[in-house]
């Protein structure tokens, strides 16, 4: 990474007036697109009275975060990204949702719970301490007075990131992500999550974003398993990824080279698969209960 360029980016943003300009342009935008504000409108929205001082800060942002166009000023793509980061930060600092009961039971037999804490959504069990899902979710779409909005936001975020990362593309920087099977106890211990015998790890080669996931939760989104579920009358797009739609069992694991055999069961039918190191579900058979 270019140190000078990234230092410049942070220096440009380390100023309240400049953050105010980016926020004002973002807030003035709506469904139809990003707003263009005339100099005087932008100055009023930012709340800086001194023309010279306001113009000084605005010019610092021009070309990088703000562009001048007919009718005034608008956010560039980098400006939009900065605005999204400001929004996520402002809201996540104030948002927390206490654990509430959700559908399904933990393997200890007690109800599962969901909660929001440290900018992350969590799915787990308060009785035995099992933590099944823990993932960052921007708070923008979450309403504290309607906890179900947390479930929807967490589900959408997990679905998007799993589909993207496990198909080789980082959703944050569009870099290449690599996927492998992992025992991963170390990571799970560190964050207090419940490890399963085999987990899947995906990591971005460019920005180092990574995630660990339960193998069943990732495979549920793969075309063969998705169709298997759909043919039995359930549309996964209307279900939460953590819902126990079908049973899953890992029947064999090899680490060198990596290979997993497992079975999904639903309504008396089975989908038996073999997965190798490239993490593409090609080798499978459906055994129906007839
Ligand atoms: Zn439990
Ligand atoms: Zn990345």
Tell me, yes or no, whether 98 and 188 share the same domain. yes
Q: Is the pLDDT of residue 37 over 90?
A: yes
CATH number at residue 43: 1.10.10.10
Residue 224 to residues 1, 27, 270: CA-CA distances in angstroms?
39, 43, 12
What residues are paired with 204 via a beta bridge?
A: 177
Tell me, yes or no, whether 110 and 154 share the same domain. yes
pLDDT band at 184 (very low <50, low <70, confident <90, very high): low
- Beta carbons within 10 angstroms of residue 150's beta carbon: 25
**Mind listing the pLDDT tens digit for each residue in 202-213?**
999 998 999 988
pTM of the model as a whole: 0.80
170 or 237: which carries more pLDDT confidence? 170
**Mind listing the pLDDT tens digit for each residue in 59-68?**
999 999 999 9
**Mind listing the pLDDT tens digit for each residue in 261-272?**
999 999 999 999
DSSP state letter for 237: G
Residue 186 to residues 128, 254, 257: CA-CA distances in angstroms?
20, 19, 21
Q: Is the pLDDT of residue 189 over 70?
A: yes
What is the number of the ligand closest to the CA of 205? Answer: 2
147 or 89: which carries more pLDDT confidence? 147
Residue that terminates a domain, selected from 47, 64, 93: 93
Tell me, yes or no, whether 256 and 177 share the same domain. no
What is the number of the ligand closest to the CA of 113? Answer: 1
* Ligand 1 center from residue 240 Cα (angstroms): 19
What is the number of the ligand closest to the CA of 108? Answer: 1
Tell me, yes or no, whether 189 and 240 share the same domain. no
Residue 144 to residues 42, 86, 221: CA-CA distances in angstroms?
31, 19, 29
* Ligand 1 center from residue 100 Cα (angstroms): 14
Tell me, yes or no, whether 127 and 38 share the same domain. no
- Beta carbons within 10 angstroms of residue 229's beta carbon: 20
Number of structural domains (the chain) is 3
* Ligand 1 center from residue 122 Cα (angstroms): 14
* Ligand 2 center from residue 162 Cα (angstroms): 13
159 or 282: which carries more pLDDT confidence? 159
How far is the C-alpha of 99 from the C-alpha of 122, rounded, in Å?
9
Q: Is the pLDDT of residue 195 over 90?
A: no
* Ligand 1 center from residue 124 Cα (angstroms): 7
* Ligand 2 center from residue 62 Cα (angstroms): 27
pLDDT of residue 1: 54
What is the number of the ligand closest to the CA of 110? Answer: 1
pLDDT, averaged across the chain? 89
187 or 100: which carries more pLDDT confidence? 100
* Ligand 2 center from residue 30 Cα (angstroms): 28
How far is the C-alpha of 29 from the C-alpha of 91, rounded, in Å?
18
51: left (phi over 0), alpha (psi -120 to 50) or beta: alpha
Output phi, psi for 31, to 5 deg: -65, -30
Tell me, yes or no, whether 228 and 277 share the same domain. yes
CB-based burial label for 99 (10 Å; 0-12, 13-18, 19+): middle
Tell me, yes or no, whether 98 and 190 share the same domain. yes
pLDDT of residue 159: 93
Tell me, yes or no, whether 7 and 40 share the same domain. yes
Tell me, yes or no, whether 58 and 122 share the same domain. no
CB-based burial label for 136 (10 Å; 0-12, 13-18, 19+): middle
Tell me, yes or no, whether 211 and 107 share the same domain. yes
Contact residues for 272 (Cβ-Cβ < 8 A; gap 6+): 261, 262, 263, 284, 285, 286, 287
Tell me, yes or no, whether 112 and 134 share the same domain. yes
**What range does the domain containing 55 cover?**
3-93
* Ligand 1 center from residue 160 Cα (angstroms): 27
For range 181-191, the mean pLDDT: 73
Q: Is the pLDDT of residue 165 over 90?
A: yes
For range 216-226, the mean pLDDT: 91
* Ligand 1 center from residue 272 Cα (angstroms): 28
């Amino acid at each position: 990474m270019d140190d000078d360029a990234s230092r410049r980016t942070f220096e440009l943003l380390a100023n309240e007036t400049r953050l105010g300009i980016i926020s004002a342009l973002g807030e003035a935008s709506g469904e139809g697109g990003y707003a263009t504000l005339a100099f005087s409108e932008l100055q009023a929205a930012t709340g800086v009275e001194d023309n010279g001082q306001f113009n000084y800060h605005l010019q610092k942002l021009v070309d990088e975060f703000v562009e001048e166009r007919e009718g005034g000023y608008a956010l560039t793509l980098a400006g939009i990204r900065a605005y999204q980061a400001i929004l996520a930060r402002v809201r996540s600092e104030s948002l927390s949702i206490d654990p509430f009961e959700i559908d399904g039971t933990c393997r200890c037999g007690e109800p599962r719970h969901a909660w929001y804490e440290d900018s992350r959504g969590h799915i787990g069990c308060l009785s035995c301490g099992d933590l099944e899902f823990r993932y960052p979710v921007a708070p923008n779409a979450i309403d504290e007075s309607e906890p179900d909005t947390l479930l929807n936001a967490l589900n959408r975020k997990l679905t998007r990131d799993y589909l993207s990362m496990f198909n080789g593309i980082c959703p944050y920087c569009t870099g290449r992500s690599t996927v492998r099977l992992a025992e991963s106890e170390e990571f799970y211990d560190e964050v207090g999550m419940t490890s399963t015998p085999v987990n899947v790890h995906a990591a971005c080669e460019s920005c180092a974003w990574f995630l660990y996931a339960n193998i069943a939760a990732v495979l549920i989104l793969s075309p063969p398993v998705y169709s298997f579920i759909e043919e039995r009358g359930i549309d996964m797009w209307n279900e939460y990824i953590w819902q126990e739609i079908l049973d899953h069992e890992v029947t064999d694991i090899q680490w060198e080279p990596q290979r997993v055999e497992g079975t999904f069961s639903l309504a008396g039918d089975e989908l038996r698969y073999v997965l190798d190191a490239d993490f593409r579900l090609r080798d499978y058979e459906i055994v129906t209960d007839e």
